[in-house]
Amino acid sequence: MKNRGFYLDLVRMLGFLPRTLSLYKLAFIPKSALKKDSSGIHLNNERLEYLGDAVLGTIVADYLFKRFPDADEGFMSKIRARIVKRKTLDYLATKINLPGMIDPAIPLANNAKHIYGNALEAFVGAIYLDRGYNAARRFFEKKIMAKHIDLAKLVQKDPDYKSRLIEWSQQNRVEISFESKEEQITGKNTPSFFATILLNEEEKGTGRGDSKKEAEQQASKAALKTIHTV
């Protein structure tokens, strides 16, 4: 009976009949879950999330390529990054009631983050394995893109350098950190600030400014140039 309820909820969410129920069940076991099978092996959706991340990136890239036939690579990359970043995926997962598919009885680690967005990626991975790329594409375009993403708003949005760098790091799963310090320049009465950007603990950009914000903006701009997104 429990499986039947899960199956019916899944059909309503998907809009078609799933074939391999076990894939979808696995998609809703967060990688932070403290769950094991009878052999003591941890069960989680990490592998499906990895696959779904790649499939989702392709779906969104394909959609934007067709939607904006005259756009350059930089523009499409920015819009794609805004759609597939962690915060947006968490939001989209809640819009399709994906959190309700996760068994509340499954214990989770205390440091669990982005459970819903990760589960959405794993869900897309499950659809891909179960029914193929076109089914995954139709699901995301019809159930999510068409209903819950304001593409016009995303296009009009003009993020600053720091925001663009943060979006890029989230999209590419690169660890980012900002280090800022105040400097006193000889002959200048007001303080200046110096900022350094680290990507995966490697220095990628520096900048100076009359405020911490300005210094970080300049450092972010320099970092974006090193990864060829400016």
Measured distance CA(91)–CA(28) in Å, rounded:
16
Among the options 49, 53, 130, 167, which is catalytic? 53
Q: How many CB atoms lie within 10 A of CB 29?
A: 21
Longest Cα–Cα distance in the chain: 78
Q: Could you tell me which residues come within 8 angstroms of residue 68 by beta carbon, excluding any fewer than 6 positions away?
A: 75, 76
Of 9, 73, 90, 121, which one is the catalytic site residue? 121
Q: What is d(CA 164, CA 179) in angstroms, rounded to the nearest whole number?
A: 17
Classified as helix, coil or strand, 179 is: strand
Is 175 considered catalytic here?
Answer: no
- Catalytic site residue 53? yes
Cα gap 86→201, rounded to integer Å: 21
Q: How far is CA 111 from the centre of its chain?
A: 18
Torsion of CA 144, 149, 152, 155, to 10 degrees: -100
Distance CA 211, CA 191 (A): 8
Residues known to be catalytic: 53, 121
